[in-house]
Amino acid sequence: LPEGISKLPIALEQLLFELQKLPTIGQKSAQRLAFHLLQRREKDARSLSAALIRVAEEIRSCKRCFYLAEDTLCPICKDAEIGRRDATSLCVVEQPLDVLAIERTGAFRGVYHILEGALSPLKGINTEDIRIAELLRRLGEEAISEVILATNPNVEGEATGMYLARLIQKQGTKVSRLAYGLPMGTHLEYTDAVTLARALSGRSSL
Ligand SMILES: [Zn+2]
């Protein structure tokens, strides 16, 4: 911490410093949060810090799919074990938050595999840096008949999806990629060419 440049108590500076490490939290947001916390009672501060410590200590990644878990397996893999989800249909995503997004749709009842990133040679993220080997091992060991690639619709996500599609096809498993629809409420004339081309190639028959 830089000393002597601030008129704030050191404890508060420390809190601001920690808050600003969080994504989307800039200096002003950190100050707003810190002053809000200051005004709350000590009991609230204790329960917040206890929750933070509990998450850090108790949440790990699922041994099978790398989603968030409190035990060896996550709740989704546990449900698949007892037949409450379709273990033959596997959806591949980049991050745990993507699972939440797909779960919100209610349109998928299979299981997941979290890559924990996407291929990006520019950022030095190569095939061995994300959970590709683990995915291929699952395809060999589990009764998975269909893989749905749901990596992000950006350069890294597309490259990762194409790379995985080739590998999975080689193993003889059916593989599909999310179709990119057009955002609702938009006009074709305002849609960029890449999105429109993707939507065209992913069109479905009626
Ligand atoms: Zn799992």
**Distance from residue 77's CA to the centre of ligand 1 (Å):** 4
| pLDDT tens column, 92-150 | 999 999 999 999 989 899 999 999 999 998 999 999 999 999 999 999 999 999 999 99
**Distance from residue 61's CA to the centre of ligand 1 (Å):** 8
> DSSP string covering 121-157, please?
GGGTB-GGGTTHHHHHHHHHHS---EEEE---SSHHH
Is this model's pTM higher than 0.85 or not?
no
Task: List, in sequence order, every residue forming a beta bridge with 120; answer none if it has no partner.
Answer: 125
**Distance from residue 178's CA to the centre of ligand 1 (Å):** 21
**Distance from residue 71's CA to the centre of ligand 1 (Å):** 10
**CA–CA distance, 34 with 41 (Å, rounded to integer):** 13
| pLDDT tens column, 40-85 | 777 888 888 999 999 999 999 999 999 999 999 999 999 999 999 9
